[in-house]
Chain A
Amino acid sequence: MSTELVIEVNNLSKTFKKENHRVDSLRSFILNRKKNTTDSGKELKALRNINFEIKKGETFGIIGRNGSGKSTLIHLIIGCMKPDKGGYVKTKGKILRLALGLGMDPNLTARDNIYINGSVLGLSFKEIGQRFDDILDYAGLQEFVDTPIKNFSKGMQARLKFSIAMYAKADIFLLDEFFGGVGDEEFKLKSNDAFNKSIVDQKTIVIISHNKQIIKKHCDRVLWIDKGSIKMLGPSEDVLKAYQESFIKLSATT
């Protein structure tokens, strides 16, 4: 593992406006004007002052309950959402997020999706062509190459995505609740295997999950977020232990 930073999260906050009457049509735009209400509605702090860094080649876990802000954090890292002023995310290299049922156009065939995804991930069409059969083989989908993805099962979609990811040139993988659901047992073994071989090599992996087993198995360090703030950041053993204890406490008090 090098000391080069690939993800740098600095003082990151994200506030969503939960306006009761959000101005998203002309009608409300005009009406709100008239009333001149400064009704800002409720604000939801999804993330507060998050700071952490991920080094190149590291396998990093992010853990937290539903609604703790994990997804918002991912959106900010990918850059498809803007953080609040004052905070920033710096990333280095191409990022791919793997989540079930996302990232592919359901109306396109496996072939087109492989080309589009592969291309966005930095491969030329020539390179994709060279790897095309391998990608299909790995996913076990040779017979369905010209079938629209919408006819695939969740497991098949996940396998295809994982396979594209394996051969693509992404530098950082965000595995967003990706495991646990991926395909059949055989493919689980295969993908596990991949972790120990090619994919891990020089690549940075961020695993977002509530599954403690997966985090424990793969991650060097873990970030635990709770209600939008960092609860703990450190070696996986320690963080997972504390996370586990918080559940016991919770069930004891309720």
Chain B
Amino acid sequence: MSSQSSISLVNFLPESNRLERIWKLAQTDFKKRYFNTKLGVLWALINPIFRLTVYLFVFSYLGGFNSENFGLYIFSALILWMSFSETTIRSINTLKQKRYLLENIQFNIVDLFISNTISVLLGFLFNLLAYMIVALIMGISFSVSLLWLPILLLILAFINMGVSMILASINIYIKDIHHLWDMMLFAGFWTIPSIFPLENFTGVLQYLIYLNPLGGILINFRNIALYNLPIDFYFLGHCLLYAIALFLIGLLLIKRHWQNALERF
């Protein structure tokens, strides 16, 4: 529809209110998730810390598995992976949940996914803060390479958005995608060095890391926020390529298919 595309072009201009709107949607989403509960935004923290405790118990205590700063090592993987799984799981059904908007107002469909991603990222920032505080207490030192962190997070956001749009598009036609995605998320966590060290991924196993879009982000996150190492450009390029490809595919799919959603729900 030609008129619609011209509207969305205008909306990208700086003087438009599009950014405000995306922010408001993300904010209300965040509020809905946490503010009606007793512990509020603490839940964003409790969940990963609980998981961390379980993993530490299983691997350190029961498994006798240990390395320096093992807790931070696992926590970094947990918070990155949880932001990915939370965004994508929440987005699968977003066309249905935001139907009230789509049916009544001409709306830029991509804004829904941007706001979902931002909303989850807000919770992630709490986790990141917790990580940084603990890291400082543990005497981890940071260098200038920590300045790469915002770029890593931006790449993460685009991966989250891209996968979200792809899943939401598939969900229009195949309703049981969320079961399948649940399993993928469960398996995906182990294809990157989330708990086992990078050195264990040798031979054919190293391809598992490449298969996972978050592999490069996790490795680089630890480089700059745990090991005080420079950024690894090879892995940075790897996750950047994933981000671009996934985002473009997602954009194409959702733009082409979202209008079929309403008659199928």
Contacts and interface: CB of A to CB of B under 8 A. Distances in A.
A143 interface: no
A119 B104 contact: no
A124 B100 contact: no
Contacts of A124: 17, 20
A95 B105 contact: yes
A23 to B, nearest CB: 7
> Which among A29, A79, A121 has the highest number of chain B CB atoms within 10 Å?
A79
Given A90-B1, A115-B24, A105 B260 contact: no
Interface string A1-42: 000000000000000100000111111010000000000000
B174 A24 contact: yes
Given A24-B175, A119-B17, A122-B17, A78 B105 contact: yes
B94 to A, nearest CB: 12
B66 interface: no
Contact of B105 (A22, A82, A96): A96
A124 B100 CA distance: 21
A26 B173 CA distance: 9
A90 B3 contact: yes
Contacts of B253: none
A23 B174 CA distance: 7
Given A24-B175, A119-B24, A80 B1 contact: no
Nearest to B172: A24
B101 interface: yes
A176 B209 CA distance: 53
A186 B261 CA distance: 39
A103 B20 contact: no
A182 interface: no
Chain A, interface residues (CB within 8 Å), range: 35 or more
Contacts, number: 99
B32 interface: yes
Contacts of A89: 1
B259 interface: yes
B100 A104 contact: yes
Contacts of A94: 7, 105-106
Interface in A46-100: 75, 78-82, 88-92, 94-99
B2 interface: yes
Nearest to B257: A82
A123 interface: yes
Interface in B14-33: 17, 20-21, 24-25, 28, 31-32
Interface string A152-168: 00000000000000000
A120 B105 contact: yes
Given A112-B24, A124-B20, A125-B20, A103 B176 contact: no
A16 B262 CA distance: 11
A31 B1 CA distance: 36
Contact of B104 (A78, A90, A91, A107): A78
Contacts of A214: none
A97 B264 CA distance: 21
B59 interface: no
A81 B260 CA distance: 6
A89 B106 CA distance: 13
A120 B3 contact: no
Contacts of A26: 174, 176-177, 180
The 8 A-B residue pairs whose C-beta atoms are closest, nearest first, are A103-B104, A119-B21, A97-B104, A82-B259, A124-B17, A80-B102, A120-B105, A25-B176
24 contacts: A23-B173, A23-B174, A24-B175, A25-B174, A25-B175, A26-B176, A26-B180, A78-B106, A79-B259, A80-B102, A80-B262, A81-B260, A82-B260, A91-B3, A92-B3, A99-B104, A102-B103, A103-B101, A104-B100, A105-B28, A112-B28, A119-B17, A125-B20, A125-B24
